[in-house]
Amino acid sequence: MQEKVEIFKALSDKNRLLIIEMLSCGELCACDIMERLNLTQPTISHHMKILGHVKLINSRKDGKWTLYKLNQETFNDLCNFINYLSSYKEKCICEDIIKKKCSEDG
């Protein structure tokens, strides 16, 4: 669960969400992201470090440039987690609350 908390923290920044949206079109150089978002190189590096730490993006060097792309496996896992989290489960954290409410209502 802590891994998912860290991912959601990484997603709680507007610029990081914009970076992810840009990368949804394909692999991009940091310079392209800097130009489009009008951010400095240190700021881009900071955001990429956070996104990379939680494995939302992958990076590779190409000469003097670093290219970034989305890590689809992490995004698929996150979507599955959200679906699981928002779906009914037999063994749910609120199981005792529901039983208590039902016995009070009945």
pLDDT digits (tens, 9 = 90+) for 2-17: 999 999 999 999 999 9
Q: Is the pLDDT of residue 101 over 80?
A: no
Q: Cα dihedral sign for 9, 10, 14, 20? A: negative
State the Cα–Cα distance between residues 8 and 5, nearest whole angstrom: 5
CATH topology of domain 2-105: Arc Repressor Mutant, subunit A (1.10.10)
The answer on pLDDT for 18 being more than 90 is: yes
Please calculate the CA angle 62-20-54 and round it to the nearest 5 degrees.
80
The answer to whether the predicted template modeling score (pTM) of the entire model surpasses 0.85 is no
Per-residue confidence band for 98, with pLDDT thresholds at 50, 70 and 90: low
Judging by beta carbons within 10 Å of its beta carbon (0-12, 13-18, 19+), is residue 19 exposed, middle or buried?
Answer: buried
pLDDT at 91 (0 to 100): 77
Chain-centroid distance of CA 15 in Å reads: 13
